[in-house]
Chain A
Amino acid sequence: MLDNALYDLLDDRKGQVLETALDTAPVAIRCETRSAAGSVSQRACVFCGSRVVLYPIADALHLVHGPAGCAAYTWDIRGALSSGPALHRHSFTTDLRETDVVYGGAAKLEQALRALIAEHAPRAAFVYSTCIVGLIGDDVDAVCRRVAADCGIPVIPVDSEGFKGTKKDGYKAACLALARLIGTSADPLVPPAPARSVAGINILGEFNLAGEAWMIRDLYARMGVPVVATLTGDGRVDTIRRAHTARFNVVQCSGSMLGLATMLEEKFGQPYRRVSYFGLEDMAQALYDVADLFADEDPGMAARAAAVVAEEMGRVLPLLAPFRRDLEGARAAIYVGGAFKAHSLIKALRHLGMRTVLVGSQTGNQEDYERLQQLCDPGTIILDDANPVELSRFVLEKQADLLIGGVKERPIAYKLGLAFCDHNHERKIPLAGFEGMVNFAREVHGSVTSPVWKFSARRRS
């Protein structure tokens, strides 16, 4: 397989790339490993994982304990919308200097925390540890405990030292931080409400990029399910504290929140379901799944869910038809952070008459990749933790017309004369839900059929 394209992959990388074949069982792919030193990897670090998960909590203070760079690079880069406070759009950092590295940064951290809490009165504070903090050994936990006791708000350390693993480990650290908040009461004199006492759900792993959480909450509201807390899109500290009162958790996004769902199941007995809000089938299934969870206590919900789905499909399908007419037969390549999203994208692209010829992710696991192999047509390239050289080679070889990816992939696609759709931090329009499918189709259509490609060297030849 892949004789001509695989020849100069790093030896270390060979197990991380494969091509699907006809009628064979899924093959194991090497994944969840660290990238080889010297690779031009598209991956990020632990801190990045924690930061993206927690940052949408808009009334919390997010203090990056480290050099200014870590704060600067993660300053409001994700477009997680808030309907109220916007403290999360500021970038707070202890801006550690050489003397702090020598003498320790704990005193500076404490001073910074106290000043910020006094000035901004946040509902909680998250303190992110960066690489350097892990090395100089600041007792961040002790500082947080002291400040919490004096200021009367939760001050939660996030163990997100960059070198301590992958972005996924950052998700875990963020989930642990959230778990410390959930099930607590804002008023020390009032005990927290009992677990699972509200006939509603929490939405986990939805960050309200471009307002997606609002659209999804609206769909659940229409089938009669209140959303207790969204973690963490348009998040508020006090709602997150009450998350344990929801009957069930609905988890989207591969890596980021599955860990929290497991923790909540153990601690509060909240069962969870994994869903995806991308593409029509998966979105519909996400509604049916919730109706199924409530089947005993609200047998009528399934019918209401079906009504919502029917209404939305009826509205959306005619809107998709003209896009499909132009896109039929076009080929897509997908390279995203989490593999779970890739499953939905493949299905969504089929709706537009498009075939996926390459699919890869930064952080997929064995199960993700096996499902991908089952889902894809024979001859599809599947790869884990790709670099730009591999990506550009494979998209050309497979004659892709479109690349779906993130910030670092966009200019590569454009240089190759390929259409592009950002399905990551930098999406500016909601791509989730039924409405999101129309937006997705419009965006893909806009790029694939753009007249600019007519002038590109590759397309002309």
Chain B
Amino acid sequence: MLLRHTPAEPAVAREALTINPAKTCQPIGAMYAALGIHACMPHSHGSQGCCSYHRSMLTRHYKEPVMAATSCFTEGASVFGGQANLLEALDNIFTIYNPDVVAVHTTCLSETIGDDLKQMTAKAIDSGKVPEGKTVLLANTPSYVGSHVTGFSTMVKGMVTGLAACTAEPKLDVFNIIPGYVEPSDMEEIKRLTQALGVKTILFPDTSNVLNGPMTGTFQMYPDGGTTVAELRATGDSRATLALGPMASSAAAKALEVQCHVPCEILELPIGLTATDTFIDALRRLAGVSVPDSINRERGQLLDVMTDMHQYTYGKKVALAGDPDHLVALTDFLVTMDMQPIHIVSGTPGKHTEERLRVSLDKLGRPVNVKIPGDLYQLHQWIQQEPVDLIIGGTHCKYFARDEDIPLLRFGFPIIDRVGHQYFPNVGYKGGLRLLEKILDLLMDRQDRDAPEEKFELVM
């Protein structure tokens, strides 16, 4: 028992602490979002350790080099403010690493001492530390607020406030898509779907071909992928914005609406059948296109497997840990397949998450444990009290998946012990099919493993 120190029943009340967090802090989300801009150097305005931890964690998750710079705070900076550090940092970064964009995010340290990023950046521009034509983006991401998801959201909003511009010539045939906190593979899949629909889009951020790049025999500081500065500027001229995942994407979409009068629609992440339907339909409606046969066929295939295999998903209990936008879409998908998501935690605080979850959970007609914000220790305790057939969550769930002998479907952030998430999407009908295949593999492998010899079946 790896987590033998987790009792099934809580021995003491614990309001003041988190055990085995189901989240991490804002700056890493900001860093991830910034990596979705082409030729961008993410910059961590704080201690050296923060930047190092985020790069390590992202490297473990993507198995790719992750570049980011740091203000290298000292004790002096934490007393007198980090202005000198930021100015020196911008000067060094543009001189040596020559990015198009430096995307600065704060940390708990720089936030608490009250560093004013806007004023400091203005000063950097005034004193010539930012070369002509280069951009500095800003995001306030203290670690004691929100989680990696809100950090992502804030940096995406920073892209809008820092770059989006409306010219006299709006482009009525172009749509913005904010993909939410999803994998590079998902962003690629969203682009494939919009192309198939014949809709011109600007996707931002876009980490595909940045964090799932090919092996080329060279080290590229700035890989080929990422939304370009020109594209980010042009988002202000688009016809409308589709924001996928309210928590990760709506802030930027709303900012763009206010700033450049680009109307937005906020949808759940297109994970699973019905959420993908909603997404495809929104694009169809907004762009006035018809859905091609190729996409209809993909939908039909997903539905086909759902029907073919529904006796294996029927009534299966699931415990989930993850980010709000992921959980809402996943829960809906599971309920569509007659599965029972009965224990759900997210470390990310948020008033509306439970409400959004209940929309599909209420269809179950049974009590469901939901804790927002909750932690993995709580989830493990619930699983001990009422066991499940499947756990869905990041790598850290593997401890209690092993202890309780329950199959684990790795989903979300971080996944630091398997590959695949970088390359194969979870969004869209294809992504839904992949998810379903994985779920079925886990459930049916378990059935095979546990079947007594006389009931061991060849055909399933």
Contacts and interface: CB of A to CB of B under 8 A. Distances in A.
Nearest to A458: B217
B217 A417 contact: yes
Interface residues on B, range: 35 or more
A456 interface: yes
Interface stretch (B10-18, B232-240, B292-300): B10-18
| The 6 A-B residue pairs with the shortest CB-CB distance in the complex, in nearest-first order | A45-B49, A69-B25, A457-B217, A38-B92, A38-B89, A458-B217
Interface stretch (B69-77, B306-314, B434-442): B69-77
Given A87-B5, A163-B109, A116 B17 contact: yes
Contacts of A130: 108
B355 to A, nearest CB: 21
A198 interface: no
A351 B86 CA distance: 46
A411 B61 CA distance: 11
Contact of A95 (B17, B48, B50, B57): B17
Nearest to A65: B17
Interface centre among B27, B54, B144, B215 (most CB of A within 10 A): B144
Interface in A438-461: 456-461
B241 to A, nearest CB: 29
Contact of B144 (A98, A407, A457): A98
21 contacts: A10-B95, A37-B89, A38-B72, A38-B91, A39-B69, A39-B72, A43-B52, A68-B143, A68-B147, A69-B28, A73-B24, A90-B19, A93-B21, A119-B14, A164-B75, A388-B221, A407-B56, A411-B59, A411-B64, A415-B219, A456-B215
Interface stretch (A132-140, A237-245, A290-298, A367-375): A132-140
Interface string B335-359: 0000000000001000000000000
B301 interface: no
Interface in A258-288: none
Nearest to B7: A119
Nearest to A452: B215
Contact of B65 (A98, A162, A167, A388): A388
A94 B17 contact: yes
A89 B64 CA distance: 26
Interface centre among B48, B64, B70 (most CB of A within 10 A): B48
Interface in A338-359: none
B72 A132 contact: no
A34 interface: yes
Given A89-B2, A95-B17, A132-B108, A69 B64 contact: no
Given A45-B50, A85-B5, 14 more contacts: A38-B96, A68-B25, A69-B25, A89-B2, A90-B20, A94-B16, A97-B145, A101-B112, A111-B16, A136-B112, A163-B46, A163-B77, A388-B65, A389-B96
Contacts of A415: 64-65, 215-220
Given A38-B93, A86-B2, A94-B16, A412 B219 contact: yes
Contact of A73 (B12, B17, B56): B56
A399 interface: no
A134 B19 CA distance: 22
Contacts of B2: 86, 89
B219 A132 contact: no
A40 B71 CA distance: 10
Contacts, number: 264
Contact of B96 (A8, A63, A67, A134): A8
Interface in B28-78: 28, 41, 43, 46-57, 59-60, 62-75, 77-78
Contact of A41 (B63, B72, B93, B108): B72
A131 B107 contact: yes
Given A68-B347, A69-B25, A115-B12, A41 B52 contact: yes
B219 A36 contact: no
A414 B67 CA distance: 15
A94 B90 CA distance: 34
B92 A39 contact: yes
B72 A35 contact: yes
A408 B48 contact: no
Nearest to B98: A8
B16 A89 contact: no
Interface in A90-130: 90-98, 100-101, 107-109, 111-112, 115-116, 118-120, 130
B218 A416 contact: yes
Given A73-B53, A412-B219, A163 B73 contact: yes
Given A97-B145, A163-B75, A456 B217 contact: yes
Given A91-B20, A163-B74, A408-B55, A458 B47 contact: no
B377 interface: yes
B456 interface: no
B53 A44 contact: yes
A66 B109 CA distance: 11
Interface string A413-439: 011110000000000000000000000
Nearest to A101: B144
A92 B19 contact: yes
Nearest to B58: A408
A312 to B, nearest CB: 33
A75 interface: yes
A16 interface: no
Interface in A5-63: 8, 10, 12, 34-48, 63
A118 B112 contact: no
Given A36-B92, A69-B24, A115 B59 contact: no
B85 A37 contact: yes
Interface string A71-95: 1111100000000011101111111
Nearest to A119: B11
B11 A118 contact: yes
A35 B48 contact: yes
A396 to B, nearest CB: 8
A228 to B, nearest CB: 26
B3 interface: yes
B254 to A, nearest CB: 22
B253 to A, nearest CB: 25
Nearest to A362: B52
B221 A389 contact: yes
A69 B219 CA distance: 29
